Structure 1
Amino acid sequence: MQNNGSLDDLAIFHTVVREGGFRAASRRLGLAPSKISTTVARMEATLGVPLLRRTTRSVSTTDAGRTLADRIGPLLAGLDAARVEAAEGAERVTGRLKLNVPGAVMPDMLPPLFAAFHARHPEVEVEIVVENGIVDIVAAGCDAGIRYEDILAQDMVSVPVGPRVQQIALAAAPDYLRAQGMPATPRDLTEHQAIRYRLPDGPLLPWQLVEDGRTITVEPIPRLILGVNAIDTGLGFARAGIDIVATFRNWLEEDFAAGTLISVLPESWPSRSGPRLYYPSRHTPRPLRAFIEVCRDHDKS
């Protein structure tokens, strides 16, 4: 590509890939879909290889297109950050922040953080992608991710983004316990019905409890199995009297206070370290730096 608009062409192509199609890129950039399509076609003619596969319903990258998008993504992000910093100075933060997070942090951890973030930086657009597996956030086009410490990549920087320690609690509705009885020991749970969660294309999440100072795994009867992406929906089933649920204690405090759910074996609940925000050390765009600052301030409060 030897024309003066080549950098703009690359940005247009990358937006098509990131947004998943010409119309979405058109809305993002404020350009006509025909101009975007013409730009990509011109790039393909200049390079001599197809970059996109087009059907009436979808657009996907060829191998060459994916390689190009992966290489130019960090460069374009760096240029955008440099332009914003040069034009707007140190105080005003604009742009886009894209995070990849597990469902476990959605109901109660993120809302207060983003309330504080939007109060400070109202012009930043935030996109949250909810996934529970291990994700390469760079390849996924995200600025940062949130995960638990035991699965963080070693080459990432991380900061706390919630409670330093979380407890996994067991609970059941009064109707269930009247009908089935209250288990007296962790091993009694093997005779009880449970709401279980399954990892995407993987095993059920294990039930681990503490007994005599040791961590043990128990296998209750999995009468209801939910995908882990719906982890915050299990409480609704438990409140309806369907089985025992294992979930974060902080999600259960209101139910315990109201009596809609009863704690089960509280002396055996295990603890784990809380979630962390993680990101590559080599490039931190301004919206992400601003969000990290909010996380650190929230951690002090």
Structure 2
Amino acid sequence: MGLLSAMQGFCVIGIVIFVGYVAARMQIGGPSAQMVLNRFSFFISSPCLMFAILSKEPLPEIFHPSIIVAFCSAMAVGVAFLVLNRIFFHLNAAESTIGALNSLYLNSNNIGLPIATYILGNPALVAPILVMQQAVFTPIGLTVLDVTTKGKVSAKEIASQPLHQPLLLGSLGGIVVSAISDRAGWFVIPKFLFDPIDMIGASAVPMILMAFGMSLYGSQPMQNKRNRDATVAVVVLKNLVMPVVAFLLAYFVMGFRDATLYACVVLAALPTGQNVYNYAARYNVGLSFARDGILISTLTSPVIITVVAAILS
């Protein structure tokens, strides 16, 4: 059943992505259509979706022990890239930071939400990952990029980074409401307020997938020969090594089985998050390296997740 659910989920996801690709090819919506869909889903739909989901989710489910697996497996592949870079690639400090982020940063929004929704059956599973990445990995990555590109640390910019992440704010708002509702013994948001939030949130996944499909039109990866080996290493670490590490930690260390084990490994096989390209663009470093890692890991991730479903089911 796990493999069948995964195949059906990817079929749903693939069709919507294909619609976005066709729309871009036919220039439906004009050249700014992808940007509009991305911005609307980023600033409005996705935060509403996470708020709607988490506000009704019990706190023990939100902060599930599986977050330990996600954190440790991400750290393992990030450190592995830095070691490989020291031995083989010899990228400078800023580019090696982009490479480490490319290896460990999960696409918990654009791909994670649809996969958690249609394959794992629980969109709330991405919430701990999202909080972990924004609270830990993003500040560390931005601090290193500040030091290596500017020679100084902008503490104000790093501290304010979570305030520029609507998805994180929506998630935290949902967690707060869940905690208040749990203490009150009833859901504290009136139905006439919750329903429009839930309705807007329902548009997030299709918009995200169509925008991604649009981004595939005209893409030409691996044009920068200098970073090819490092890009291959990033994809191998992200799509192959990280799920294996997650399985070993989940099965042998945490003792997870069945659906929890399956979710840990599937989420570890998510592709690199597009936030990494945003960080690279902000500091004008490793742009093609970040883009290629994201694109190739995104294209290969469904194959890996299908294999995971076939094995673990």
Mark yes or no: TM-score above 0.5: no
Q: Which has the larger radius of gyration?
A: 1
Point out the structure with the larger strand share: 1
Bigger relative contact order, structure 1 or 2 (CA pairs below 8 A, ≥6 apart): 2
Normalising to structure 1: TM-score of the pair? Answer: 0.22
Point out the structure with the larger helix share: 2
Normalising to structure 2: TM-score of the pair? Answer: 0.21
